[in-house]
Amino acid sequence: MADQATRAENAALPALRWAEPPEGPVLVLLDQTRLPHEEVELVCTDVHALVAAIRSLAVRGAPLLGLAGAYGVALAAGRGYDVEEAAELLSQARPTAVNLSYGVRRALEAHRKAEPGQAAAAALAEARALHAEDAVASRAMAEHGSRLLGELVPGGGFRLLTHCNTGALVSGGEGTALGVVLAVHRAGGLRRLWVDETRPLLQGARLTAYEAARAGMPYTLLSDNAAGSLFTGGEVDAVLVGADRIAADGSTANKVGTYPLAVLARYHHVPFVVVAPTTTVDLDTPDGASIEVEQRAGSEVTDLAPSPLGTQAYNPAFDVTPPELITAIVTENGVVSPVTAETLAAVCR
């Protein structure tokens, strides 16, 4: 089951937290489908509730899905459920984001290797370790990314364009691409953050704008199809996006609408930078064509844009950007540029 609690205070809620009330352990999620107007928590007491939250996008973003997967295994173990079955359900909840199965696998392996009577504690310890590692990775990516921007765009005063949501709402720390923007902002170097709406579920309008406003960033929201006008007018110094899976050749799956930005950036000679931890790199997926792209319900499109009854909608959750359109990939271990199978594998060692 999943209970709901509404936040009254002004402080931001964590995207995910573990709690242990007297009735048993729970995983508490900030329901991102209710943002920006309501901060409501979902209290998941079982894996079925967590899977439902993942599929509904109440919890989302590649690194955070990895944490949800790991804590989900710990939740099943702590509640006395079938851990192997829970791991399978979690791994299949969303197919494109590789971090989800990675987090599940780490906690499951810890559970399997533990001494009798210590398995639940071992799974939880591994989930917490992954949580801490992701926070460290966020800080490192922010440092690498802000330094890279200084090299790519001398002079500062950055005007940065982003797509979807990549801040603290997707991470155990301060995020991936938006974490870099935040570091630039704190250093006084952010002139303007351009925020794509990110249709059809408006993660940019609802979530990135929410995070930018809380941080006091100078930001402007635009419809996805207005980005070309910004490039034409010379208003974009760099594009920063996250990733849900990076194939071995550097092909990158991210929220649908990312690939057109990469094409625009290349045409207008604007750096296009992907920011993602090495846990998002899947060296077992050889290239972009091998990435399974999640197809979501057409109603997500038709509900946003009222259309005739019975209208069919094409609604891929992601698209894939080939490595030749990517200026650099920023990871916690350093910057990959140029983006090739060799340079990517080197940073993942």
In the chain, the percentage of residues whose pLDDT exceeds 70 is 97
pLDDT tens digit string along 32-65? 999 999 999 999 999 999 999 999 999 999 999 9
pLDDT tens digit string along 273-311? 999 999 999 999 999 999 999 999 999 999 988 899 999
pLDDT tens digit string along 88-114? 999 999 999 999 999 999 999 999 999
Domain count, the chain: 2
Q: How far is CA 333 from CA 173, 278, 327, in A?
A: 16, 8, 17
Residue 313: pLDDT over 90:
yes
Residue 178: pLDDT over 80:
yes
Report the pLDDT averaged over residues 135-144.
98
283 burial (CB, 10 Å; 0-12 / 13-18 / 19+) is: middle
Check whether residue 84 and residue 155 sit in a common domain: no
For the domain that residue 301 is a member of, what is the CATH number? 3.40.50.10470
Average pLDDT over the chain reads: 95
Rg from Cα positions in the chain:
20
Q: Which of 110, 132, 154 is the last residue of a domain?
A: 132
Paired strand residues for 222: 196
Q: 90 Cβ partners below 8 Å, 6+ apart?
A: 47, 50, 51, 54, 68, 69, 72, 73, 100, 104
Check whether residue 262 and residue 217 sit in a common domain: yes
Q: Which of 82, 98, 132 is the last residue of a domain?
A: 132
pLDDT of residue 2: 59
Report the pLDDT averaged over residues 117-121.
96
For the domain that residue 112 is a member of, what is the CATH number? 1.20.120.420
Residue 9: pLDDT over 50:
no
Report the pLDDT averaged over residues 220-249.
98
pLDDT tens digit string along 192-226? 999 999 999 999 999 999 999 999 999 999 999 99
pLDDT of residue 4: 55
Check whether residue 181 and residue 313 sit in a common domain: yes
Check whether residue 160 and residue 283 sit in a common domain: yes
In the block, tokens 């370790």 appear at 129
Q: 138 Cβ partners below 8 Å, 6+ apart?
A: 63, 171, 172, 173, 174, 175, 176, 179, 277, 332
Task: Copy the structure tokens of residue 219.
Answer: 């930001």
Domain that holds residue 334: 141-347
Check whether residue 171 and residue 110 sit in a common domain: no
Check whether residue 114 and residue 251 sit in a common domain: no
Going by pLDDT thresholds of 50, 70 and 90, the confidence category of residue 11 is very low
Check whether residue 176 and residue 228 sit in a common domain: yes
pLDDT of residue 116: 86
In the chain, the percentage of residues whose pLDDT exceeds 90 is 93
pLDDT of residue 156: 78
Check whether residue 90 and residue 193 sit in a common domain: no
Check whether residue 322 and residue 182 sit in a common domain: yes
Check whether residue 120 and residue 156 sit in a common domain: no
pLDDT of residue 10: 40
Residue of 46, 134, 196, 244 marked catalytic: 244
pLDDT of residue 6: 47
Check whether residue 162 and residue 296 sit in a common domain: yes
Q: Which of 113, 132, 151 is the last residue of a domain?
A: 132
pLDDT of residue 3: 59
How many residues are listed for the chain in this entry?
349
Check whether residue 249 and residue 335 sit in a common domain: yes
Instruction: Respond yes or no: is residue 46 known to be catalytic.
Output: no
